[in-house]
Structure 1
Amino acid sequence: MKEYAGGVRALDGVDLTIGAGELVGIVGPSGSGKSTLLHIVGTLDRPTSGRVAIAGHDVARLTDRRLSALRARHIGFVFQAFHLAPGLSAVENVAEGLFYSGLPRARRRALAAGALARVGLADRMRHRPHELSGGQKQRVAIARALVGQPDLLLADEPTGALDTASGGTVMELPHALNDEGATIAVITHDTEIAQRLPRQVRIRDGRVVADSTRGKVVL
């Protein structure tokens, strides 16, 4: 459960397990609790009550420092707004995702180049964000999230800032990456996007009201 001041429950009785190698769509309208769920799953926030386990670690038992290390090692984030540094090239932006890894700069750049190639941007490595389309910027953001080889990739409204054509191209990536073994959760308000994913979890009023793998539907 996640409760805010004034007794507002953003999440209430959510029971969700995402297994290794799954591709999941978490879908719900604005205010349904899906963004709160993203923050809880991504360890950006802690629940008011209940247990959250990531890669076998009980989040509640970790100090803030150990929690940050867990997040850096096991979780990659992709946000709607891209969050790319405007003065850096694509490869430099992706390499920033490894800044706290302890790896030398040359190794970080080599891994960044590989991640960009993986998302189809091998020919855009030296381009800065203003030289890239919206879809290409999102691919850079995905590469940055993947470069550290996290156990879980969380994508929050990854097509929200894109036109339909660019969004469709970007959404081909989760399927391709999942085929390679990546575990991915896509948080979206778009039911069409969610329906294209192997598993759909529907959130409403802070509760899971449907889960396609369990045949669960709550009216």
Structure 2
Amino acid sequence: MSAAATGAAAAVLSLRDVVKTYGDVGALRGVSLEVAAGELVAVVGPSGSGKSTMLNIVGTLDRPTSGTVTIAGNDVASMSDDALSRLRADHIGFVFQHFHLQAGATAAENVADGVLYAGVPRRERHRRAVEALGRVGLGHRVDHRPHELSGGEKQRVAIARAIVGEPTILLADEPTGALDTASGAAILTVLRELNAAGTTILVITHDLELAASLPRRIRMRDGLVSNDDRAGTR
């Protein structure tokens, strides 16, 4: 049982009455939620529901128009751009639908880029990269380049890059969207294993079947949380 399920874990992410407008368009219209350490959460909804806007705000890539966002105890509204960059480096890992790997770099080199700006010496970056690749089942692919990898393996490299800095929270945006069914299932297994080892994960998806398989599901519609349920509580 996760720490979240016992109620013992503190929130690593908190949104309170978060509003985001673009001109006259309300992308988020008062979102409030908390995510505790150790949770594995699906954020699901159709296009235009606000889930991508929420991802950008949670990832500190955008600021809310109003409301409060707290990440790992930090109130992001009061932070400078430099401080937000450091917060991202220290606490947030990103995985996207498309892998964004350097074509000419090895898997280990791509993963090591995840701590390139963290002041980590080159040899230590490589050691951490190899370790992270091992965690996602690619210890035998450290010297392979993207063209030598399958789509699922490329996504696992991207996940390893996201976790190499040991983030507090991992944000996965449609991580199976560019993959076939079998590869997508393998990626979901990797995410479950990382979560079981203690990583807090938010999976943003439009895939209702994927969302239904996760312990907690936050459904969004029209810029609001329309439902928030956990396994066994529906």
Structure 1 residues 215 and 63 mapped into 2: Cα distance closer, same or farther (>3 Å)?
farther
Number of residue pairs matched by the alignment: 216
Q: CA deviation at 1:191?
A: 0.5
SS, match of residue 34 in structure 2: coil
Structure 1 residue 215, shift from structure 2 partner: 9.9
Aligned pair in 2 of structure 1 residues 109, 209: CA closer, same or farther (>3 Å)? same
The answer to whether residue 59 in structure 2 is matched with residue 8 in structure 1 is no
Report the Cα distance in structure 2 between the residues aligned to 1:214 and 1:77, rounded to whole angstroms.
Answer: 25
Deviation at 1:16, TM superposition (A): 1.2
Sequence identity of aligned pairs in percent?
63
Root-mean-square deviation (Å): 1.4
Q: How does 1:1-219 map to 2 (within 5 A)?
A: 1-5=19-23, 7-213=24-230
| C-alpha separation in 2, matches of 1:161 and 1:21 | 26
Question: 2:203 aligns to what SS in structure 1?
Answer: strand
C-alpha deviation, 1:58, in angstroms = 0.5
Offset at 1:173?
Answer: 1.1
Distance in 2 of aligned mates of 1:133 and 1:150: 26
Distance in 2, Cα, partners of 1:88 & 1:215: 45
TM-score of the aligned structures, taking structure 2 as reference length: 0.90
Q: Which runs of 5+ in 2 are unaligned?
A: 1-18
The answer for unaligned runs of 5 or more in structure 1 is none
Choose between structure 1 and 2 for higher RCO, CA contacts under 8 A separated by at least 6 residues.
Answer: 1
Q: Deviations over 1:99-118 (max 9, x none)?
A: 01111100000000000000
Matched residues in 2 for 1:213 and 1:144: separation?
Answer: 29
Give the letter aligned to residue 125 of structure 1: V
CA offsets per residue over residues 48-68 of structure 1, 9 Å max, x none? 000000011100100000010
Q: Match for 1:59: what amino acid? A: V
